[in-house]
Structures are given as structure tokens and as C-alpha cells.
Amino acid sequence: MITLHDVHEQGGEAVKAAVLAFGARHLKASAETNWDEAEKHFTHLIEAIMGTAPLPQDSAAATVRRAENEAIGFLLAVNTRPNYRCPICVKQSGPPL
């Protein structure tokens, strides 16, 4: 499965900006980006997408590739939205009070 780091390294400028914005949603107490958490959440995002996708007669590798592309598409879609929250963080913290 592709990593967030690989997405950044292989992507164009828009993808790199989207990865950095996703990372900025995962801060340590010191206000530095928690890349370990961002990586983990990106992987969980891919897994969540794979879990909802219908299982075609494609290979498992094709299913993973499709989910990876959808996760990257998600990063690009939310990159321009101010103050979006990582869906994995939201899921883990529960609904707002």
C-alpha cells in the first residue's frame, strides 16, 4: 500500500500541497506535524475506502490501487477547504458535543 510520504514524493505540486495540508491536521503538542499519525490515518483512510468499495472481479492489487487513488482524490478535494478535519480523527474522537 502506498504511503503518504510516497504520495508526496511522486505527486505534482497540488498533491504535495494536499499532503502537507493533511499533515497539518495532525499536530503534536509542540505544534509540529505528527507525520506518524498522519501516515497511519492515511492508511486507515485507504482501508476504509477499500471496505466500502464493491468487490469487482479485479485483482486485490487493482482494488488497493483504486482505493489509493480515491484517498489521494480525497486529499485534493479537501485541500482547499479551510479547517477541514481528518475523517479518521473525527471517527476516533466521536461526534462533537
Average pLDDT over residues 49-72: 82
- Number of independent structural domains in the chain: 1
Greater model confidence, 2 or 62: 2
User: Helix (H, G, I), strand (E, B), or coil: what is residue 15?
Assistant: helix
Task: Give the torsion sign (CA, 76, 77, 79, 84).
Answer: negative
Total residues found in the chain within this entry: 97
Residue 33 sits at φ, ψ, to 5 deg, of -65, 130
Q: Model pTM?
A: 0.88
C-alpha dihedral, 97 to 76 to 21 to 28, nearest 10° = 60
Which pLDDT value is given to residue 96? Answer: 59
- pLDDT tens column, 11-60: 999 999 999 999 999 999 899 999 999 999 999 999 999 886 666 667 77
Which pLDDT value is given to residue 62? Answer: 84
- What is the domain range of residue 46? 4-93
